[in-house]
Amino acid sequence: MELPLLHLALVGTPNSGKTSLFNALTGSRQKVANYPGVTVERKEGFFVTPLGRQVSVVDLPGTYSLRGRSPDEEITRDFVLGKASGETVPDLVLCVADSTNLRLTIRLLLELKRTGRPMILVLNMFDIASRRGITVDVERLAKELGVPVVTSIAVRKGGTADLLQLTDDISAKLAEPQENSWRALSVSELRATQREADRIIADCVSLPARPDTWTARIDAVVLHPVGGLIVLALILFVMFQAVFAWAQPLMDLLNSGFDALGEFVHDTLPGGLLQSFLQNGVISGVGSVIVFLPQIIIIFLFILLLEDFGYMARAAFLMDRIMGGAGLHGRAFIPLLSSFACAIPGIMATRVIDNKRDRLTTILIAPLMTCSARIPVYTLIISAFIPARDVWGFINLQGLVMFGLYATGIVSALAVSFVIKFFMIRDFAPAPFMLELPDYKMPRLKSIAIGVYTRAKMFLHRAGTTIFSMMVLIWFLASFPQPPAGATEPAIDFSLAAMIGKALAPLLAPVGFNWQIAVALIPGMAAREVAVAALGTVYAIEGGKEAAEQIGQVLATKWSLATALSMLAWYVFAPQCASTLAVIRRETGSWAWMAVTFAYMLVLAYAASLVTYNVAVAFGAG
């Protein structure tokens, strides 16, 4: 007889390795990182046990209790209690523990037992516990808790074998769920539960005489109030230097590849629309975005390494004073940090913030963090206008400007947060910083490789879909209607694109933008990188023969330095991403907040560009 699908749920304290376990069991590649609060959604996967039982397993956000104080914790609570609409209550709950730190998990487990669901305690990260000399009397622990206990190493091949076997054993004769007697615990009940947990741990777990000193030694430096900030600044500094210094050879290679391809198309196809479409629309347009792949990879390599090592939570700790001063919750750090990749996961990550107003503030400022889609625009303009010389002999000026743009984003986000708090929420008392600092772990090559690969794939996917379709549109607008016979002006002057651009140009003239930029900004709403490609196409079609030349060189001849700087300022602030606005609407549940974000960012962008342009012109850069 075919047994019904077995439903498992992974529940546990944050950063205990639930997602790693989920990936190990199902072969998925969900995001894993060494800080609490990575998973904020439920995720279902499937696998088959050694004995052939079909299993569905759900990965859930980490939580310390079932009280469900923040939106991510509510997801876990509702799922375990079977309150989530349309969900099956799990047949078996896997309570996942970080074996080096059992106190809070055992308390959670005692609370979970009241739900009456059958349960297993999974002592994960058992490799680290063993290395540290922590020993657990597994049998005794199982007896005291009244649930089966198994050890696991989620990140090692075969590290889940015991868990799989136990699942088979248990599911063959699964006990009927008990009555659910769970209700929210009061603070004193929670304390009593903690005392009970501590007693059990004292009986079953023995800690080594000499605790882990590595984490403490590294923390003495990186958490030092002065030394720590210096280390943080150094790390960021090296990162941005690397973006320019290491990426250049690879970019040159990609660039000449696309140039050669463009030339090839130019030489083989007869002159005409098809040739122009392929060369100016597709190859120079999409290609001009793809050449930034090396930069994207380098930035993510740094971010992922730091995440996996366990440094990011320390950076959060260091920034807490500054963020608190701006009225931000300590837990806002991780969402803001994720926004450096892209504001969308960043906005989703705000679910770890329990206070509604704090969460809203964080959502509103997340798009000001410099996302990776701005990298192509920044690097294009910087490479074209900022000389690649060294300041004081060792600082690359281009890297420095890039650092400045990132810093401007961060400072403005803090300033906006401060203004929001000041006007809206005057009775604000900052919440204490509550983020568990994870132990340092050696970054794992495989998970870094998967992370970088996923990001690169996402970037290329965007180039192939959103950016490609925008390029087709722009090429079309820039090519039609065709010029009348015998016209001497560039063909683009007769096109729809020129008409639209010129109609908008007066609005943008005060900030130093010409009509070509106006044309590039509108499709740039779909995705920021499109602006780069659009400029490439517009100037390529306008310039005719210059098509094969690199966009940067064309811009350097067509724009003044003041215009270039104004464009950089615009990109720091402008609300140029439709998907981000859509996520803001979804997560705040309100069109109004989406409109507010769009409006305030647009106003900031215009003001910043206006000031930048006029100051630059006053200094003779016009």
- Residues near Mg ion (CB under 5 A): 19, 38-39
Taking the complex as a whole, how short is the minimal distance between the CB of residue 444 and ligand GTP, in angstroms?
A: 6
Cβ atoms of residues 66 and 80 within 8 Å: yes
**101 sits near ligand GTP (criterion: CB under 6 A):** no
Taking the complex as a whole, how short is the minimal distance between the CB of residue 138 and ligand GTP, in angstroms?
A: 16
**153 sits near ligand GTP (criterion: CB under 6 A):** yes
The tokens of 305 are what? 């390494």
| Cα distance between residue 376 and residue 578, in whole Å | 18
Q: Which helix (H) or strand (E) segment is 188 a member of?
A: helix 187-204
Nearest to residue 128, comparing CAs of 202, 214, 200? 214
Surface-to-core class of residue 117, CB atoms within 10 Å of its CB (0-12 exposed, 13-18 middle, 19+ buried):
buried
**Through-space distance between the first and last CA atoms of the chain, rounded to whole angstroms:** 81
Stretch that binds ligand GTP, among 36-44, 329-337, 340-348, 453-461 (CB under 6 A): 36-44
CA distances from 473 to 219, 469, 523 (A): 53, 6, 9
**43 sits near ligand GTP (criterion: CB under 6 A):** no
**125 sits near ligand GTP (criterion: CB under 6 A):** yes
Residue 204 interacts with which of ligand GTP, Mg ion, none, CB < 5 to 8 Å by class: none
Q: Using CB under 6 A, pick the residue from 15, 101, 151, 372 that binds ligand GTP.
A: 15
Residue type, 335: P
84/450 with CB nearer ligand GTP: 450
Taking the complex as a whole, how short is the minimal distance between the CB of residue 26 and Mg ion, in angstroms?
A: 13
Taking the complex as a whole, how short is the minimal distance between the CB of residue 96 and ligand GTP, in angstroms?
A: 6
By CB under 6 A, what part of segment 168-227 binds ligand GTP?
A: none
**124 sits near ligand GTP (criterion: CB under 6 A):** yes
Q: How many CB atoms lie within 10 A of CB 465?
A: 11
**32 sits near ligand GTP (criterion: CB under 6 A):** yes
| Cα distance between residue 181 and residue 482, in whole Å | 75
The tokens of 493 are what? 């002057």
Q: Using CB under 6 A, pick the residue from 154, 201, 492, 540 that binds ligand GTP.
A: 154
Q: What is the DSSP letter of 559?
A: S
Taking the complex as a whole, how short is the minimal distance between the CB of residue 463 and Mg ion, in angstroms?
A: 29
Q: Using CB under 6 A, pick the residue from 66, 128, 371, 377 that binds ligand GTP.
A: 128
| Cα distance between residue 484 and residue 494, in whole Å | 8
Q: Which helix (H) or strand (E) segment is 7 a member of?
A: strand 6-12
Taking the complex as a whole, how short is the minimal distance between the CB of residue 260 and Mg ion, in angstroms?
A: 44
| Cα distance between residue 170 and residue 175, in whole Å | 8
308/320 with CB nearer ligand GTP: 308
**122 sits near ligand GTP (criterion: CB under 6 A):** no
311/606 with CB nearer ligand GTP: 311
Stretch that binds ligand GTP, among 360-368, 383-391, 421-429, 441-449 (CB under 6 A): 441-449
128/413 with CB nearer ligand GTP: 128
**444 sits near ligand GTP (criterion: CB under 6 A):** yes
Cβ atoms of residues 198 and 105 within 8 Å: no
Which residue in the block uniquely carries the two structure tokens 């981000």? 580
Nearest to residue 604, comparing CAs of 257, 375, 368, 372? 368
**67 sits near ligand GTP (criterion: CB under 6 A):** no
3-class secondary structure, 17:
coil
**151 sits near ligand GTP (criterion: CB under 6 A):** no
Binding site for ligand GTP (CB under 6 A): 12, 14-20, 32-34, 36-39, 61-62, 124-125, 127-128, 153-155, 308, 441, 444, 447
